[in-house]
Amino acid sequence: MTTDHNPSRPDDSNPGDSRPGDSKAGGPPLLQVRGLVKSYGPRIILDGLDFDLHKGETLVILGRSGSGKSVTLRHLNGLEYPDRGTVHFDGTELTQLREEELYPIRRRMAMLFQSGALFDSMNVFDNIAFPIREHTDLPLEEVAEVVAAKLKLVRLSGIEQQMPSSLSGGMNKRVALARSLALDPELVLYDEPTTGLDPVTSAVIGQLILKSRETLNASAVVVTHDLPLARTVGHRLAFLDRGRFRFLGTWKEADQSEDPMLRGFLEGRPENDDDGT
């Protein structure tokens, strides 16, 4: 396997602790992932994954369908436990925590699932209020203020009483985005935030991700097949292949990469099975 890791800040290395994907700029990383291994039965999905996510940074994860992108995300918030390896979030090792110990940490993170997944039986208000009610004791008026603010952020003010079934796919995604931002998370994990949306609506989602980043100063990991979105929001990108990041670096570095597999992927060309490794 080629290791084409390009730490994006080469001048900021710490020789005592240098690992692929590691970079120490801007203080300690929010997420530090080391040696993550995960198998399902005989299939190794993650095979020693390493990376850091800096505070305020958005990392895009690209890779073929089935390469383990969603599995990676689920390890970052403790929804899955690895066979080996560690995930530190703001200095706390997650892989050893019990479910109840993860609870206060999960409050600081949000995940926008691949399926979108609003609760169909609840109106928009109750959907967005759900995590607020679960994690806080705010009185109704304050919950309503937060819901209104988050709907404003996704430019859907005033639709509190509508049911998800009455909304378009793009509006559903935007409400799901509003819900994921309800508790002002420090880290947002986005799994395919634009799947199934037309290009214009996808671009709107990209703008909303940028805007929410500005407003909340949150860090993010964005899994996507949507290359325009990836370019819009990603400070760095990672290319997942056979359980590791075959590439991790800035867009500039990616565009200069001579790795045929990465180039083919970024240019949307079908690959040969012989990928040049």
Ligand X SMILES: Nc1ncnc2c1ncn2[C@@H]1O[C@H](COP(=O)(O)OP(=O)(O)OP(=O)(O)O)[C@@H](O)[C@H]1O
- Residues lying near ligand X in the complex (CB under 6 A) are found at 40, 45, 63, 65-71, 114
Q: What angle do CA 112, 202, 255 make, to 5 degrees?
A: 95
State which residue, 71 or 129, has the beta carbon closest to ligand X. Answer: 71
Taking the complex as a whole, the smallest distance from the CB of residue 129 to Mg ion amounts, in Å, to 28
| Whole-angstrom distance, CA of residue 110 vs CA of residue 222 | 12
Taking the complex as a whole, the smallest distance from the CB of residue 34 to ligand X amounts, in Å, to 19
State which residue, 107 or 225, has the beta carbon closest to ligand X. Answer: 225
Task: Return the number of other C-beta atoms located less than 10 Å from residue 127's C-beta.
Answer: 24
Phi-psi label, residue 153: left if phi above 0, alpha if psi -120 to 50, beta otherwise: alpha
Using the contact rule CB under 5 A, the part of the chain among 10-18, 65-73, 123-131, 268-276 near Mg ion is 65-73
List all residues 6 or more positions away from 249 whose beta carbon is below 8 Å from its beta carbon. Answer: 4, 5, 6, 7, 8, 236, 237, 257
| Whole-angstrom distance, CA of residue 118 vs CA of residue 129 | 12
State which residue, 22 or 192, has the beta carbon closest to Mg ion. Answer: 192
| Interface size with Mg ion, residues (CB under 5 A) | 1
Using the contact rule CB under 5 A, the part of the chain among 67-75, 125-133, 145-153, 238-246 near Mg ion is 67-75
The entry of ligand X, Mg ion, none near residue 179 (CB within 5 to 8 angstroms by kind) is none
State which residue, 70 or 127, has the beta carbon closest to Mg ion. Answer: 70
State which residue, 7 or 68, has the beta carbon closest to ligand X. Answer: 68
70 binds Mg ion (CB under 5 A): yes
Tokens of 193: 């935030």
SS3 category, 243: coil
Q: What is the DSSP letter of 163?
A: -
Which residue is nearest to Mg ion, using beta carbons?
Answer: 70
The entry of Mg ion, ligand X, none near residue 65 (CB within 5 to 8 angstroms by kind) is ligand X
Tokens of 248: 């991790």
Contacting residues toward Mg ion, per CB under 5 A: 70
